[in-house]
Structure 1
Amino acid sequence: MKKITQITGLLLLALFLPFANADEAAIRKAIEKTMPTAKIESIKPSEIQGLYEVILGSSIYYVSDDGKYLLQGRLVDVENRVDLTEQKLGATRKTALEKMGVDNMIVFKPKIGKYKVSIFTDIDCGYCRKLHSEIDQYLAEGITIQYLFFPRAGKGSDSYDKAVSVWCAKERNAALTAAKKDQKLEHKTCANPVDKHMQLATEFDVKGTPMIVTENGNILPGYLPAKQLLETLQGEQTAQ
C-alpha cells in the first residue's frame, strides 16, 4: 500500500512541478510539498541531458529539468550494455542495509567469513525453508547469512507473528531454525525490527522470497544452492 501511495504521489508530482526551468532546488521543493514524508537522498543531473536523477529512500526516479515529466524505469548505456540505474540502486541498497545494521538482523556466521549476503525471508516460504535447511553448506563456503523478515502475508498474519516470536526468543538463531522446521514456537512480543524489514523490502521492490542481496547491493531473486551462490559472489568480487 505504501508503494502504491508513493507512486501515486510521484504521478501527482509530475503534474504539480513548475512547468519552466525547474532546477534542483525547485524539484526538491515540489517533492517536499507533494510528498512531505518522502526521504530525499539526492537530486542531481542524470547521464541524459535535461533529466534529473532523484533518489527517494532506496528507489530512483527521473524528472525532466522543466518539471513536466517524471519517469520510473531503467537507464541503460546501450553502447557499453550497462544498466546504469541498477548500478546506482546497488549502491543505495548497500547503504540502506548498512543503516539497518547487523544488530537488527539474525546472523549466521561461518568460522572463516569470506562473503556476506542479506536475505529477505518468510518463515512459511517453501524455498526459504529449503535454503535454511542447507545453512551449514553456506557457512562451509565462508558465506555469512544475514536474515531480514518479509512475511508476505503481511502484518498481523501468522507468518508475521512467527517472525516477531523468533526475534523475541532468547536464542534467535535456534528459534529461527525451529520455526523453519515448522516446530511450535512460544508466542512472544517485544520491541522488534520486523516492520522496518518489511518497509525496506518494499523499497527494494521485493516480489518474493527468498531474495538475496549481495554485499554490493545486487539482487539475486530466489533460492540458490551454496555452490552456485559462491560462484556468483566470486564473480561479483572479480568484476570489481
Structure 2
Amino acid sequence: MKTILRSALATAAALAVTLGMTGPAHADATTDKLKSTLESRMGDASIKSIDKTAIPGLYEVNLGSQIIYSDATGNYVLIGDLVDTRSSKNLTEARLSETNKIDFAKLPFENAVKVVKGNGSRKIAVFSDPNCPYCKQLESTLKSIDNVTVYTFLYPVLSPDSTAKSKSIWCAKDRGNSWESWMLDHKAPATAANCDTTAIDKNLKLGRTMNVTGTPTVFLADGRRLPGAVPADRLEKELSAAQ
C-alpha cells in the first residue's frame, strides 16, 4: 500500500464513537471507482466488496480475511478496528464475522477429528495446527466447556513437523484421544501408520477457500467465525447465541 494515513485512525475512531456504526449503507457509484483505484494501488490485495459505512466519507473495504477503511478517493486508507465505546463492541470484527459466514452444515465433517463432550448438543468446528500454542490454549479452554461436539480440522500450516504430527493423529486408532493427548498432555502421537491422509490435504484446500489465515479459527453452528484462542466466557456466550 503506497499511502497510509495512520493519523486517520484516531479521527475514524472518534467518528465511530460519535455517530455509531450499524453496518454498511447501500453502495453508490463512487464504490466502483474506489475499487478500481485501490486495486491499482494495492496489487497484493484482492477486494471482495466495498460499501459505505454509517460514517460520512468512510468506506468499508472487505479483503476477505481483513476489513480496512478508505476515504472516497482511495488516497488514504486506515488499518485498524472501529470500536463502539458505548457497548465495547468491536464493529470491524462483527462485520468481518458476518460477511465471512459459512454454511456450517455443509462442512466435510468426515475429514475432521470428532470429540464429544457431555451430550454434544452444541457444535463447533475448529481449524487447528498441532504445533500452534494458541490452539493448545483453546484446547485447554474447551476442557471447561460442556455439552459440545468439537470437529477439529487438522490444518498444518506452521511447519513440516505440523504435517507429520497431523498425519500421525489422523492415522491413530482413536483420533480424538491422540489429538487431546498431544494438545493437552504433550504426549507425542505415535509415528504415522500407513493410512489415507488425503483428508489433511483437503482441509488445507478448504481452509484457503474459506480465508482461514490463522489458527485456531473457530466456526459456530450459525456460520460465524471466531478467530484466535477465544476465552471460555466468550465462547460460552457465542455458543448460546449460535443455537
Q: Answer whether TM exceeds 0.5 for this pair.
A: yes
Amino acid of the residue matched to residue 53 of structure 1? Answer: E
* Cα RMSD, aligned residues only: 4.3
Shift of 1:44: 0.5
Distance 2:220 2:165 in 1: 26
Distance 2:78 2:169 in 1: 40
Amino acid of the residue matched to residue 188 of structure 2? Answer: D
Distance 1:166 1:239 in 2: 32
Shift of 1:23: 1.8
Relative to structure 1, is the Cα distance of residues 30 and 66 closer, same or farther in structure 2, using a 3 angstrom cutoff?
A: closer
* Pairing partner for 2:226 from 214, 218, 223: 218
Distance 1:197 1:94 in 2: 14
Alignment correspondent of 1:69: 76
Equivalent residue runs for 1:104-123 within 5 Å: 104-109=111-116, 112-123=119-130
Relative to structure 1, is the Cα distance of residues 36 and 172 closer, same or farther in structure 2, using a 3 angstrom cutoff?
A: farther
Alignment correspondent of 1:190: 198
Say whether 1:58 aligns with 2:65.
yes
Instruction: Tell me if the contact between 2:216 and 2:229 (Cα under 8 Å) persists in the aligned partners.
Output: yes
Shift of 1:179: 5.5
- Which has the higher mean CA deviation after the structures are superposed, 184-193 or 56-65? 184-193
Say whether 1:29 aligns with 2:36.
yes
Gaps of 5+ in 1: 1-10, 16-21
* Pairing partner for 2:54 from 43, 47, 50: 47
Alignment correspondent of 2:150: 145
Amino acid of the residue matched to residue 221 of structure 1? Answer: A
Identity of aligned residues (%): 30
Alignment correspondent of 2:166: 163
* 1:58 aligned counterpart, secondary structure: coil
Gaps of 5+ in 2: 6-28
Alignment correspondent of 1:3: none
- Deviation string 1:172-204 (CA, Å, 9 cap, x unpaired) is 546545665313222665361353476589x56
Distance 2:234 2:128 in 1: 20
Instruction: Tell me if the contact between 2:128 and 2:153 (Cα under 8 Å) persists in the aligned partners.
Output: yes
Alignment correspondent of 2:85: 78
Amino acid of the residue matched to residue 163 of structure 2? Answer: Y
Instruction: Tell me if the contact between 1:150 and 1:197 (Cα under 8 Å) persists in the aligned partners.
Output: no
Kindly tell me the number of residue pairs found equivalent between the two proteins.
212
Instruction: Specify which structure has the higher proportion of helix.
Output: 1
Distance 1:112 1:53 in 2: 41
Instruction: Tell me if the contact between 1:117 and 1:146 (Cα under 8 Å) persists in the aligned partners.
Output: yes
